[in-house]
A and B are shown apart, each in its own frame.
Chain A
Amino acid sequence: DGGITQSPKYLFRKEGQNVTLSCEQNLNHDAMYWYRQDPGQGLRLIYYSQIVNDFQKGDIAEGYSVSREKKESFPLTVTSAQKNPTAFYLCASRRDRGSATEAFFGQGTRLTVV
Chain B
Amino acid sequence: ILNVEQSPQSLHVQEGDSTNFTCSFPSSNFYALHWYRWETAKSPEALFVMTLNGDEKKKGRISATLNTKEGYSYLYIKGSQPEDSATYLCAFLYNNNDMRFGAGTRLTVKP
**How long is the Cα–Cα vector from A59 to B4 in the complex, in angstroms?**
13
Q: Contact residue range for chain B?
A: 20 to 34
- Contact residues in B for A43 (Cβ distance below 8 Å): 89, 101
Q: Are A103 and B103 in contact (CB under 8 A)?
A: no
B86-99 to A contact mask, C-beta < 8 Å, 1/0? 00010101001111
**How long is the Cα–Cα vector from A56 to B98 in the complex, in angstroms?**
9
**How long is the Cα–Cα vector from A102 to B51 in the complex, in angstroms?**
12
**How long is the Cα–Cα vector from A50 to B98 in the complex, in angstroms?**
9
Q: Are A42 and B97 in contact (CB under 8 A)?
A: no
Query: If A41-B103, A42-B104, A99-B51 touch, does A106 touch B97 (CB 8 Å cutoff)?
Result: no
**How long is the Cα–Cα vector from A106 to B42 in the complex, in angstroms?**
9
A86-111 to B contact mask, C-beta < 8 Å, 1/0? 00001010101011111111111000
Q: Contact residue range for chain A?
A: 20 to 34
Cβ of A35 under 8 Å from chain B: yes
**How long is the Cα–Cα vector from A108 to B44 in the complex, in angstroms?**
10
26 contacts between A and B (CB under 8 A): A4-B43, A31-B97, A33-B99, A35-B101, A41-B103, A42-B89, A42-B102, A42-B103, A43-B89, A44-B101, A45-B100, A48-B97, A48-B98, A59-B1, A59-B100, A90-B43, A96-B96, A99-B31, A99-B93, A100-B51, A102-B36, A103-B44, A103-B99, A104-B43, A106-B43, A108-B43
